[in-house]
Amino acid sequence: MSDTRRLFFALPIPPKTQRALVKWRADQFSAEAGRPIAAANLHITLAFLGDISEQKSQALQNMAARIKQPAFSLDLDDAGHWPGAGVVWLGTRRAPRGLLQLAELLRSQAARSGCYQSPLPFHPHVTLLRGATKAVSLPPSGFHWPIDFEYFALYSSEFRRGRTRYEQIAAWPLIT
Ligand code: 2AM
């Protein structure tokens, strides 16, 4: 049996914004609202690959290395709750074209390599809380978390000793 890893392409949230978001989240949500995601795990998923072999991972990394997409900024100024998935998220009211193009490219390369892609439209978001299945009161609008993204990365996700750990496997620059 060959070894597989659970992998996904994502945009990491810069550490300074991670710290600020975690503080803000503690003020905005009660402990009962859901399980907070660790600061270091905050990210925007671009394409989820699932459990894949090293060979497939290498092929997708080779394709990622050839991507030439401009860097972009986005403002996390939107929040929402998906009770079915139990997710409270931050998103953006105006997704930059560069982000949508990058995700579309990675998702179509993943699909062509046999990684199942959800038919739901891509909705860029940072998951803040999990296990949020009951009604949650969301922060009033008016918050802004501007972020400049200059690279994207491939991560592995591993559940160990009761914790989800993400490890960056490789990263590629966006054109500045
Ligand atoms: P989420 O934050 O909306 O739950 C690592 O698990 C990342 O991949 C998470 O950001 C998660 O998105 C996303 N993810 C996990 N399973 C997925 C799936 N089946 N389809 C799409 N994205 C998924």
Tell me, in angstroms, the distance from the centre of ligand 1 to residue 89's CA: 12
Q: Is the CB of 48 under 6 A from ligand 1?
A: yes
- Considering only CA atoms, which residue is closest to atom 16 of ligand 1? 48
Tell me, in angstroms, the distance from the centre of ligand 1 to residue 156's CA: 12
Tell me, in angstroms, the distance from the centre of ligand 1 to residue 110's CA: 14
Tell me, in angstroms, the distance from the centre of ligand 1 to residue 101's CA: 19
Question: Binning pLDDT at 50, 70 and 90, where does residue 103 land?
Answer: very high
Q: What is the pTM of this model?
A: 0.96
Ligand 1 closest atom vs CA 126: 2
At 24 the three-state DSSP class reads helix
Q: What is the pLDDT of residue 28?
A: 98
What is the largest distance, in Å, between two alpha-carbon atoms of the chain?
52
Span 45-79, pLDDT tens digits:
999 999 999 999 999 999 999 999 999 999 999 99
Cα angle: 51, vertex 56, 62; to 5 degrees = 130
* 81 assigned to active site: no
Cα–Cα dist 79/84, whole Å: 16
Task: Please report which helix (H) or strand (E) contains residue 45, including its range.
Answer: strand 43-53
- Considering only CA atoms, which residue is closest to atom 14 of ligand 1? 48
Span 74-101, pLDDT tens digits:
999 999 999 999 999 999 999 999 999 9
Q: Is the CB of 45 under 6 A from ligand 1?
A: yes
Is the CB of residue 50 less than 8 Å from the CB of residue 2? no
Q: Is the CB of 84 under 6 A from ligand 1?
A: no
